């Protein structure tokens, strides 16, 4: 039987492997690191003595490809979500709190209700979001929505853009925000429900996929870095790894599912999105279990440094996206700054700094600017037996788990159609 070799065992590579196995194909995954999951993983932190995720990952009811993937690997209960969509916020400076409550049904009438929308905003402020639908490829989020202080910009559009595109709204591509705004606010309340991994990213999203692959005869090989693609006659003849070479026989194919910043040496002729943006996460172990307002899985934070707060048992984690300036700071200072925001958000008073861990992901995603958007390739790159996957490829979605899964499934489909 012919084999599909998949390089990179992040969410894109795993999703490709699962789709190919379901179609009856033999797969071998090659991963440079000693573990799977890539930018979506958990690890045991000795200082906190807890398993933590590299970063808080928020998923949405609208993420159909992800839910299908979880069904396929036999782990549908891996995500826990809200029973009703509700997004609580706190303004760290004033202590003001409010909750966004999208309604059921496709017509977003919640924007007409003062108790369901951002305080002091007007229904017509939200209609500005429709400008994203017709945004030119060059437009930024601020070009479409403005950045006037005191209205929705600070309390909704900026936090949403930072979270979804990991890029400041002044440079983030408007076209990439629209699919998420539409999916979350234009497809009814269930699409807006926030989901998080029940126990952690690895146990819920990654390990069940590895078990599925092993159960179905697939192989996963760790510590294997792809160095080059040896080409000839419009196809790739062999995959050159650090220690060995894997020839591709007739009918074999390869899916390359590595981040854009690792692609340059593999396909130097490919125009790639340039630039990356960082995400900082601060994790704190408290002396008790924490629950958030409205039984929510997360809390939006305005006016401080931390942007989103997540809680799992006694660990509270905060996220700062588009955080390139922040990663220059010493971790100790960052831990203090973020803790001050946490203490205010949770009304903890002058609580001393608990055990903490800062995780800086300097290359969390590519910079999702209009220029980068124009440089996202599809799965086909002019080689008949090689296909691309990854959150940075042209999925029409931002660089997210949903985008990564979609890209993996799409690359698998292309490989199946060609072979």
Ligand X SMILES: Cc1cc2nc3c(=O)[nH]c(=O)nc-3n(C[C@H](O)[C@H](O)[C@H](O)COP(=O)(O)OP(=O)(O)OC[C@H]3O[C@@H](n4cnc5c(N)ncnc54)[C@H](O)[C@@H]3O)c2cc1C
* Residue ranges that bind ligand X, judged by CB under 6 A: 7-13, 30-33, 38-40, 54-55, 57-59, 225-226, 257-259, 262, 279, 281, 361, 364-365, 390-391, 399-402, 404
The distance of closest approach from Cβ of residue 12 to ligand X in the complex, given in angstroms and rounded to an integer, is 3
Is the Cα torsion angle 241, 243, 248, 253 positive or negative in sign? negative
The distance of closest approach from Cβ of residue 213 to ligand X in the complex, given in angstroms and rounded to an integer, is 14
φ/ψ of 262, rounded to 5, equals: -105, 5
Q: Mapping DSSP to helix (H, G, I), strand (E, B) and coil, where does residue 292 land?
A: coil
Residue 7 or 73 with smaller CB distance to ligand X: 7
Residue 102 or 282 with smaller CB distance to ligand X: 282
Show the tokens assigned to 396: 């029409």
Show the tokens assigned to 323: 């955080």
The distance of closest approach from Cβ of residue 402 to ligand X in the complex, given in angstroms and rounded to an integer, is 6
b or e along 73-108 (b: 16 or more beta carbons within 10 Å of the residue's beta carbon)?
A: bebeebbeebeebbbbbbbbeeeeebbbbbbeeeeb
Residue 252 or 402 with smaller CB distance to ligand X: 402
The distance of closest approach from Cβ of residue 149 to ligand X in the complex, given in angstroms and rounded to an integer, is 26
The distance of closest approach from Cβ of residue 278 to ligand X in the complex, given in angstroms and rounded to an integer, is 9
Instruction: State how far the Cα of 196 lies from the Cα of 71, in Å rounded to an integer.
Output: 16
Q: What is the residue whose two structure tokens read 């379901």? A: 22
Residue 226 or 372 with smaller CB distance to ligand X: 226
Least Cα distance to 391 among 11, 5, 14, 6 occurs for 11
List the beta bridge partners of residue 238: 230, 247
- CA 215 from chain centre, in angstroms, equals 27
Q: What is the residue whose two structure tokens read 């760790």? A: 222
Is the Cα torsion angle 207, 37, 377, 233 positive or negative in sign? negative
Residue 13 or 169 with smaller CB distance to ligand X: 13
Residue 111 or 267 with smaller CB distance to ligand X: 267
Within 10 A of 173 (CB to CB), how many other CB atoms are there? 26
**Helix segments in 26-140, DSSP class H:** 64-72, 123-127, 130-133
The distance of closest approach from Cβ of residue 119 to ligand X in the complex, given in angstroms and rounded to an integer, is 25
Residue 9 or 90 with smaller CB distance to ligand X: 9
Least Cα distance to 31 among 14, 53, 15 occurs for 14
DSSP H/E element including 5: strand 3-7
Residue 321 or 385 with smaller CB distance to ligand X: 321
List the beta bridge partners of residue 309: 299, 318
The distance of closest approach from Cβ of residue 107 to ligand X in the complex, given in angstroms and rounded to an integer, is 27
The distance of closest approach from Cβ of residue 269 to ligand X in the complex, given in angstroms and rounded to an integer, is 17
The distance of closest approach from Cβ of residue 171 to ligand X in the complex, given in angstroms and rounded to an integer, is 18
Residue 177 or 257 with smaller CB distance to ligand X: 257
Instruction: State how far the Cα of 389 lies from the Cα of 211, in Å rounded to an integer.
Output: 21
């Amino acid at each position: 039987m012919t084999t599909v070799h998949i390089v990179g065992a992040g969410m894109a590579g795993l999703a490709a492997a699962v789709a190919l196995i379901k179609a009856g194909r033999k797969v071998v995954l090659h991963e440079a690191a000693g573990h799977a999951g890539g930018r979506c993983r958990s690890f045991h932190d000795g200082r906190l003595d807890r398993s933590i995720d590299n970063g808080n990952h928020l998923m949405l009811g609208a993420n159909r490809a992800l839910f299908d993937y979880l069904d396929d690997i036999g782990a549908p209960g891996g995500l826990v979500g809200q029973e009703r969509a509700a997004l609580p916020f706190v303004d760290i400076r004033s202590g003001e709190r409010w909750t966004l409550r999208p309604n059921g049904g496709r017509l977003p009438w919640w924007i007409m209700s003062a108790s369901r929308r951002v305080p002091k905003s007007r229904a017509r402020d939200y209609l500005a979001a429709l400008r994203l639908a017709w945004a030119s490829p060059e437009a930024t989020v601020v070009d479409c929505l403005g950045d006037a202080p005191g209205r929705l910009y600070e309390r909704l559009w900026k936090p949403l853009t930072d979270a979804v595109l990991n890029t400041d709204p002044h440079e983030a591509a408007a076209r990439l925000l629209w699919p998420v705004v539409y999916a979350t606010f234009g497809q009814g309340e269930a699409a807006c429900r926030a989901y998080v991994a029940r126990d952690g990213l690895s146990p819920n999203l990654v390990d069940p996929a590895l078990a599925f692959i092993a159960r179905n005869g697939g192989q996963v090989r760790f510590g294997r870095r792809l160095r080059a693609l040896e080409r000839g006659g419009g196809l790739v003849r062999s995959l050159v790894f650090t220690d060995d070479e894997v020839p591709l026989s007739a009918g074999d194919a390869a899916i390359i599912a590595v981040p854009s910043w690792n692609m340059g040496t593999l396909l130097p002729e490919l125009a790639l999105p340039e630039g990356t943006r960082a995400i900082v996460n601060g994790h704190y172990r408290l002396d008790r279990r924490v629950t958030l307002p409205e039984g929510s899985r997360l809390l939006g934070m305005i006016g401080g440094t931390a942007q989103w707060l997540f809680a799992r048992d006694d660990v509270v984690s905060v996220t700062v996206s588009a955080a390139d300036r922040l990663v220059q700071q010493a971790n100790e200072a960052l831990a203090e700054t973020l803790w001050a925001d946490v203490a205010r958000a949770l009304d903890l008073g002058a609580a001393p700094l608990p055990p903490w861990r800062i995780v800086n992901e300097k290359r969390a995603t590519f910079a999702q600017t209009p220029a980068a958007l124009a440089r996202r390739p599809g799965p086909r790159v002019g080689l008949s037996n090689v296909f691309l996957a990854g959150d940075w490829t042209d999925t029409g979605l931002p660089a997210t788990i949903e985008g990564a899964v979609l890209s993996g499934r799409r690359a698998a489909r292309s490989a199946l159609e060609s072979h």
